Amino acid sequence: MSSVTADEAHDHDHHQEGAVNAPEWTDGKRYAWLLGLIVPLTPFIAWGLVEATGLGVFWWFGPMIVFGLMPALDLIIGTDAENPPDRVLAWLEQDRYYRWCTYAYLPLQYASLVLAAWLWADGDLGIVGNIGLAVTVGCVSGIAINTAHELGHKRDKAEKWLSKVALAQTGYGHFFIEHNRGHHVRVSTPEDPASSRLGESFYAFWPRTVSGSLRSAWELESERLQRVGTSRWTLKNDLLNAWLMSVVLFGALLAIFGIGIAPYLAIQAVFGFSLLEVVNYLEHYGLKRQKREGEDRYERTQPSHSWNSNNVASNVFLYHLQRHSDHHAHPLRRYQALRHFDEAPELPTGYAGMIVLAVFPPLWRRVMDHRVIEHYGGDVTLANIQPRKRAKVLRKYGGTPTPGATGGGTAAAV
């Protein structure tokens, strides 16, 4: 299925408005979406468990949930490929209950940050406990970026503002610009800093995407302001006003709780945005849009350009982020209405389990590289290959480099 523009998708969905009443279809995961609110509660749960048991290991409760329990639940519960019928999409997107499931994340997110700052300032946790709590808070702020992702794609100005609020805790306000106006345009191309390449480890991808996304966001926003005749050095600059939120937030916390909490604020921020970037790493690994035949433009984004997963547990905690192909086809579509496509390549497990694999490059390559090759019918030249590894990859998988090519063939216009 070819993608359509955001405006076309929005108009299509609104043409369906009123097509069905709620009783004609039931969302089996309707109340399961509330489980996503467990994540911002993890610092509170960690505190309670330490108080109840005296075991400091529970300050690491966040990574226990994200990298332990969630992958296990994915394996135990399994997958669900059911799609909402097309006739209910308009009604489903208009149901405000689903919006409040995401809105509720933010006050819990910031309540947990204030709790953590108070506990760090108290000084009773010790270095290991402080770091464990910082990583737990980083799990909250990292998944908050996914909440910001859901809100930032919407037309509603309040939701866009809430997206920046969710991003302030990691200092990653530029994601608001780069993801919407950069990544969605360049996804699964060598030019996209947020699309990982075949043969590229997460540790090579991380500095490339962090620096590249920041640089791209600044350029995109500067160009926007230049078109309207405004200097980039203004609070109308969405990067500057988003970063200002972070400055105010961190400044207030340091003023209230003391400079001693600064290292732990930094740890949670870096861990949080790294959690986002490892998800970026696995979403498009090795996948490449081909150039249109006889043109220097890429084909439209299609389901085959995103790795997907229907594992229920990760999908519930991440607001259907794993139905990534439909998100790229319909960026304005709300999470509860995202659909599964049979033609989209499937990950062997949910995002949580794949994150664990990504931090161990040999395991990642063993699990994923052959899947990329199989996705392209054995023609490795169609993949998005890490330039430094290109010769090695071609030798290993039998590809023949095309003189002057950057990897990949051509595709008919769609």
Per-residue pLDDT tens listing for the chain (414 residues): 334 444 444 444 444 444 445 547 788 889 999 999 999 999 999 999 999 999 999 999 999 999 999 999 999 999 988 888 888 888 888 999 999 999 999 999 999 999 999 999 998 899 999 999 999 999 999 999 999 989 988 888 899 999 999 999 999 999 989 999 999 999 999 999 999 999 999 999 999 999 999 999 999 999 999 999 999 999 999 999 999 999 999 999 999 999 999 999 999 999 999 999 999 999 999 999 998 877 789 999 999 999 999 999 999 999 998 999 989 988 888 999 899 988 899 999 999 999 999 999 999 999 999 999 999 999 999 999 999 999 999 998 876 544 433 333 333 332
Whether 17 is in a domain gets the answer yes
| Rounded Cα–Cα distance for residues 335 and 388 (Å) | 37
Could you say which DSSP state residue 298 is in? B
Number of domains making up the chain: 1
Instruction: Report residue 399 as tokens.
Output: 């590809």
User: What is the separation, in whole angstroms, between the first and last Cα of the chain?
Assistant: 10
Report if residue 20 sits inside a domain.
yes
The CA-atom distances, in angstroms, between 315 and each of 35, 269, 310, 340 are 11, 23, 7, 12
- Kindly state whether residue 276 falls inside one of the protein's structural domains: yes
The position carrying tokens 């861990």 is 271
In a domain, 249, yes or no: yes
**Angle, to 10 degrees, between the axis of helix 126-152 and the axis of helix 96-103?**
150
- C-alpha angle 341-94-168 in degrees, rounded to nearest 5: 85
> What sign does the CA torsion over 402, 404, 405, 410 have?
negative
Interacting residues of 302 by C-beta distance below 8 A, sequence separation 6+ = 1, 2, 3, 289, 325, 329, 343, 414
Q: Is 269 a member of any domain?
A: yes
Q: What is the Cα–Cα distance from 411 to 414, expressed in whole angstroms?
A: 9
Q: What are phi and psi of 382, to 5 degrees?
A: -80, -10
Q: Is 0.75 surpassed by the pTM of this model?
A: yes
Is the CB of residue 271 less than 8 Å from the CB of residue 135? yes
Residues spanned by the domain of 130:
6-361
Number of H helices, E strands in the chain: 19, 2
Tokens coding 314: 């990760």
In a domain, 412, yes or no: no
Residue 379 lies in a domain: no
Residue 353 lies in a domain: yes
Q: What is residue 295's three-state secondary structure?
A: coil
- Contact, 61 vs 339, CB < 8 A? no
Q: What is the pLDDT of residue 399?
A: 63
